[in-house]
Amino acid sequence: MRLPVNPPVAPMLAKPVAAIPAGDYVFEPKWDGFRSIIFRDGDEIEIGSRNERPMTRYFPELVATFAAQLPERCVIDGEIVVPDKSGKQLDFEALQQRIHPAASRVRLLAEQTPAHFVAFDLLALGDENYMERPFSDRRAALESALASVVSPVHLTPTTTSRDVATQWFSQFEGAGLDGLIAKTLDSTYEPDKRVMKKIKHERTADCVVAGYRVHKSGEDVIGSLLLGLYNADGKLASVGVIGAFAMERRRELFTELQPLVTTFEEHPWNWAEHLAGERTPRKGMNSRWNADKDLAFIPLRPERVVEVRYDHMEGPRFRHTAQFVRWRPDRAPDSCTYEQLEEPVSYDLAEVLGAGHG
């Protein structure tokens, strides 16, 4: 490629903040997908990822779309997302499935769960490098360059109104989005630096500790704690993990939890008895990203309750690793149900995607 900006390029990042900032900011939805920088030089197209490794082979349908719709020579920053079957919400799990080593499987998934691309920044156009230009110039040029695109290419909506951004923050979560991004109009594009601000949804839940995995450093060190919530049928469902502890605390936890260690015959996640299709840790015995990673766990009697912080749910599980808040010795394990979780109001993804062309 002979572009003003050539791959690989590490995307510009965002620093988490607790609240929507006041001041001269441009706000955008925070998309829940794969961050991607698209490089196009005529017939050559490459999809770069956050870790600067190409993802081109996994999204052949987007390569064809980029060839048909993007400017002849450009570098565009954005997010690859996959809508669910209804088209009304994002489906991150379906997106994860798209990263598959078999070419035949890649082709099949490209037809079954086609991806979309949401553009939100411009690094180069024609022979011009835009990275040193202020975001106001980059956004104006991006709007002009993508004025005629149609689905599955989209331009992310923006607003300078904090009131509108606040409305987006609550509304767009119903379509599966992740929060907000705040940028300043005069900011240049700085790869791999946390120049932007991100505001994510944050909630707490009381969960049952139902098991643990050991740390890679040793068999007497806790790696992560497995969390459960009781569903409407009174069964303890696997909901996620917490794992960010200091090393000394990991060793202390191992000692503290030993009296609760039990057998699988006496555990609600008895692998021989779980219903077909139910999500339990056994379902993830091998990691999709690392086939050698052992995800077996040590079962615990479900007697300890922990309060955790999470951003949002994906189906019956926490979308990301939860964060430890505090132990809840005052809380009965059987009171830790899905009913305590706050459900976002449903919102149509098409409304969010359409806003970028308004």
Active site residues: 30
Q: In this structure, what DSSP letter does residue 261 have? A: B
**Cβ proximity of 227 and 240 under 8 Å:** yes
φ/ψ of residue 259, rounded to 5:
-65, -15
- Residue 22: how many other CB atoms lie within 10 Å: 7
Q: Which two three-digit tokens encode residue 351?
A: 């409304």
Half-sphere exposure of 228 (CA within 13 A, CB side): 28
Q: How far is CA 218 from the centre of its chain?
A: 30
First CA to last CA distance, the chain: 33
Q: Decide: helix, strand or coil at residue 318.
A: strand
Burial class of residue 8 (count of CB atoms within 10 Å of its CB; 0-12, 13-18, 19+): middle
Q: In this structure, what DSSP letter does residue 289 have? A: S
φ/ψ of residue 49, rounded to 5:
-115, 180
- Rounded CA separation 80/292 (Å): 27
